[in-house]
Amino acid sequence: MLVKWIRCTVMDRRGFERGQRKWAGLLGEPGFRGQGGGWSRRRPDTVHVISFWESRAFYDSFMARSHDRLHAAQAGTYKDLQVKLFDHRFDVKTGFEPHFADADVVRLAHCKVREDRVEHFALVQEKIWNPAMAGSPGMVRGLFGEAPEHEFLVLSMWQSTAEYGKYQVERVERLTLRAQTEADVAALDGDVVQLEPSWTV
């Protein structure tokens, strides 16, 4: 599965949201698995949208055929567009499905990992972070994705901001030390996204 992460700064909120609903046109596109998104909880004018495709071939075909028509409704409503593609490497918890209805927030952690630490980083994600997240109350599902140049995306869906906040406070610092995250990660950014149900496709 291919994961597409879009981030941008919105200048015309009403126009952007109106255009976002037009992406319902993705339904019926060959290989399309689902899309959701919302507003950053940290930067009020920042939007994140995540979409899922069965393969890169299906995604490339969509980009060549239908993308520009669907996108036209949002032209001029945003700036600073960033797009990243990741290949699904493994699930956080089990049986990841690109559904958003049972989640309130999504946490995105984008990691650039030192070349000589890639295998260690993936191993501790599987053996330390995944069990801790999977066992946390309110964590719904997630995935670990990989892009070229030693870039990774950890995506986790949570029932509520409060549940994610408890995990953050109670576990993250201790797990960071145990996983030797600072030795692995050259750069880390990400966000917590308040999902907009009307954007889910």
* Eight-class DSSP state of 97: -
- What's the pTM value of the predicted model, to 2 decimals? 0.94
Number of domains in the chain: 1
Q: Which two tokens stand for residue 41?
A: 């909880």
Range(s) of the domain holding residue 138: 2-199
CATH code for the domain of 24: 3.30.70.100
Q: What is the pLDDT of residue 95?
A: 85
Tokens 């070349």: give the residue.
115
CB atoms within 10 A of CB 28: 8
Which phi-psi region, left, alpha or beta, contains residue 9 (left: φ > 0; alpha: ψ -120 to 50)?
beta
> Does residue 19 have a pLDDT over 90?
yes
Section 143-166 average pLDDT: 95
Q: Which two tokens stand for residue 183?
A: 């030795």
